[in-house]
Structure 1
Amino acid sequence: PQISHMLARVPSLMMWDDHDIFDGWGSHKKWFQGSMVAKGMFACAREAFCLMQLGTSADGRPDGLSDALPATEPDRLPDMVLDRSGKSLAWKVDFPGMTVIAPDLRSERTPEVIMGDHGWRDIAPALESIPEGNRILLMSSVPVIGPRLSLVEFFLHMMPSAQKYEDDLRDQWQSRWHRREWCRFLELLERIANDHDHEITIVSGEIHVATRGTFETIGKTIHQLVASGISHTAPPKAFARALGLLAWIGDHPLPERPTKLKPLPDRKGVYCAARNYLTLTRKDKNWGAKWHLEGIGWTPDLKV
């Protein structure tokens, strides 16, 4: 009820993820993803996202009268949606001094691909067209900076009883199945940050814990801020420690441009297993971030 109260009064910008469809959508076996049941669930989830978050019907017509409108009726997806065909629901919104952009990591997802042809076609021009001087807040439904997963995937592949967890790992940018695409995305962000002189902050969630990270490009530091779903139960502390061990091993996909996960301000572990939410503050061109941790309180401000 409290969240409903807030959402009814506070404007929001949202991007869907797997749990809006079902757990691990796009990372399961192709025979399952291609089944009529899975396709039906995807269609229903897409319709709900379009209606509740984009204010339009699933085929891009906001009044819900798609059957009554002629087939040649112009696309009515909101202007913020990048792909006018609706194959990808990625969007971008410009505000004074900042731009919020959210790639769609689900509409075209397969076990081998995170963003499909439509997503990749539109994301670079969208980033390149951001007004000069705007800070970029990039929403990635799964963290762009994360722990090394290739070792875990290797061991799970050798253990048949644990292979049921493979789709959870394959869901991440850091999966060995997506390494080339992950590098491509990092290189794109690096180019936009340096060649177009934008400060970039990645905001993410999905993993049910709080953490942060940095991507040291040749020129600028890109910060990543991760918060869990505000209503999601906190995971066991052992889960956070296990993730922290993977983060300690490290993973640097681009030579001489390290990605690194770091503890929240005044915290020891890289991951904090407490229910939490993230706030960003802005004063002129100075930005800060802080997390509220359930049972702990506010972290100190982090300059980003």
Structure 2
Amino acid sequence: MVHPLDDPTFLLGPVLYFRGEQGDRWRLSALFVLEGDAEPDDLRVDGVSLPVPPRHVGAWRGRHVWRFDFAVPRGREDGEAGYGFPSGPRWSTTVPARQRRPRIAFVTGSGTADEAAWDKAGGPEMRNRLWRGLMEAHAATPFHLLLHGGGQIDADSVWEDCPLLAKWAKGNDPQRLARPFTAPMAEEVMDFYFSHYIALWSRREMADALARIPSLMMWDDHDIFSGWGTLGDGAQAASVNRGVFMVARHTAAMFQLGAATDAMPELAWGTDMGTFTQGVRLGDVGIFAPDLRTERTAGRVFSDRTWRALPEWLARFNGCRHLLLLSGVPLVFSDTSQVERLMDRLPGRQGVEEDLRGQWRSQAHAEEWRYLVELLAGFSLRSACRITVLSGGIGAGACGVLHGGGVDIRQVISAGIVQPPLSTITAFGLERLAAREDEPIDGYSLSMLPFAESGRRLIRARTWVSLGFDPRAALHAQWNAEGRPDRYRVSF
């Protein structure tokens, strides 16, 4: 089989996106980035009678983003749908049976801030080890969906790789925050993000997964730059920082949602607020990915307008038996304000400070956290819908449960699939904290659960998680951890 990246005009693709169900059809989009202005051929898809024409999504410096939208019929059993070009390469994806709940792979942290460090730590073979493991699992028992919980790239090097930004960031100018985001800055930042997506996502192991398993992605601060949303108000409102955010948003729409910002897919629910909130139903399973970064400031996560919209968004999942809620950082985890204080007492930087300030249980967000917990508990109680939160954001694997309001809210946490795991000392502190029982709100108890395989509450290793449902819509999660022969399993 010819891989498109062997053709120099193919810079990236295909990247498959899940667009929802339409009757008995499985709706997908496939994205490609091509060099040059020539329009690609129509796509041919098994089970789709007519050729699928390309739609132009965007371009940058002679590189064009094209998307193909199609809906594949579902049968009584799982099936394979091939797609490709008439005289070129073809790929295939697994389409679930009509009455089958999806089998899901969940990943976070596909990028890392210091890619060069992998050259000293085993190179691409070691870097992409877990992506290969995920695709080996897919070959044995195919996944229907690939959920990404943030960090699809790590854009921190934007401040080093863009000379004009680096000069601005390192300067001692007391008026620095008042300086404008200039057109030359915008050009070098756009080139950085556009090229970063192509370079990272065209790596063979990740490219294979993106081509064969439809994705749904939510972004987090690492897709913008580390700490976005936890900066002081003056810094976050600065023209340069805001300009970088807007370029990151523009490229995230193209690559993470496969769309232009002014023409978003139907499953994007927050477009009128300028956010990337997404929601979709698959029979009696719901997937809800609220945008936790666009409106975030050091003092709040959502705007008043989003808080007003949340009850109606949740009501769209009435009739679901299980709701998967994506959150870049855990909703159910120990009191991270204590960890923030611990980090302040340790010498040097531990590399997790920005992540801790962005946690739901940081003091800055405690009130919103309580409100969201009570909102979710009320929805779960009224609708008899189980809720499981899927997150990254702590550098380790873990699971927990928040019991109260007559319901349980369960939490699955994955470490990065590429990002290195926590340092030993940080993991030690988090493990001790996770062992404590907690009553964060009157009438609620929070517990981080020990894994039967290790007796510990944290998995200090790179991980990805497979998720499947039983006939009762209970969720079975399996953590696949680097270097660990055992599979960590929990059922909710």
> What TM-score, normalized to structure 2?
0.55
Q: CA 1:237–1:98 in 2, change beyond 3 Å: closer, same or farther?
A: same
Give how far 1:152 is off.
4.1
Whole-Å Cα distance in 2 between the matches of residues 104 and 6 of structure 1? 24
Give how far 1:135 is off.
0.9
Deviates more, 1:133-142 or 1:80-89: 80-89
Cross-structure match for 2:357: 170
Cross-structure match for 2:328: 141
Cross-structure match for 1:17: 220
Question: Equivalent pairs: percent with the same residue?
Answer: 31
RMSD of equivalent CA atoms = 2.3
After superposition, residues 49-128 of structure 1 pair within 5 angstroms as: 49-58=252-261, 60-61=262-263, 77-128=264-315
Q: Quick check: 1:82–1:92 contact (8 Å CA) kept in 2?
A: yes
Q: Quick check: 1:101–1:137 contact (8 Å CA) kept in 2?
A: yes
Query: What whole-Å deviation, never above 9, does each CA across 1:159-206 have from its counterpart, x for those lacking one?
Result: 9987x9764422110011111111001101110111121111111112
Q: CA 1:47–1:197 in 2, change beyond 3 Å: closer, same or farther?
A: same
Whole-Å Cα distance in 2 between the matches of residues 247 and 301 of structure 1? 18
Cross-structure match for 1:3: 206
After superposition, residues 163-242 of structure 1 pair within 5 angstroms as: 167-242=354-429
Q: Quick check: 1:88–1:104 contact (8 Å CA) kept in 2?
A: yes
Q: Which letter does structure 2 place at the counterpart of 1:297?
A: P
Q: Which runs of 5+ in 1 are unaligned?
A: 62-76
Q: CA 1:9–1:88 in 2, change beyond 3 Å: closer, same or farther?
A: same
1:29 aligns with 2:228: no
Which protein is richer in strand relative to its size?
A: 2
Q: Which letter does structure 1 place at the counterpart of 2:234?
A: W
Cross-structure match for 1:299: 487
The 3-state SS of whatever aligns with 1:92 is: strand
Whole-Å Cα distance in 2 between the matches of residues 206 and 158 of structure 1? 21
Q: Which letter does structure 2 place at the counterpart of 1:272?
A: I
1:151 aligns with 2:338: yes
Pick from 281, 289, 304 the counterpart of residue 477 of structure 2: 289
Give how far 1:17 is off.
0.1
Q: CA 1:51–1:93 in 2, change beyond 3 Å: closer, same or farther?
A: same
Q: Quick check: 2:476–2:491 contact (8 Å CA) kept in 1?
A: yes
Q: Quick check: 1:264–1:270 contact (8 Å CA) kept in 2?
A: yes
Q: Quick check: 2:283–2:320 contact (8 Å CA) kept in 1?
A: no
Whole-Å Cα distance in 1 between the matches of residues 299 and 347 of structure 2? 21
Q: Which runs of 5+ in 2 are unaligned?
A: 1-203
Asked which structure has the greater CA Rg, the reply is 2
Q: Quick check: 2:286–2:320 contact (8 Å CA) kept in 1?
A: no
> What TM-score, normalized to structure 1?
0.87
Cross-structure match for 2:200: none
Whole-Å Cα distance in 1 between the matches of residues 298 and 437 of structure 2? 24
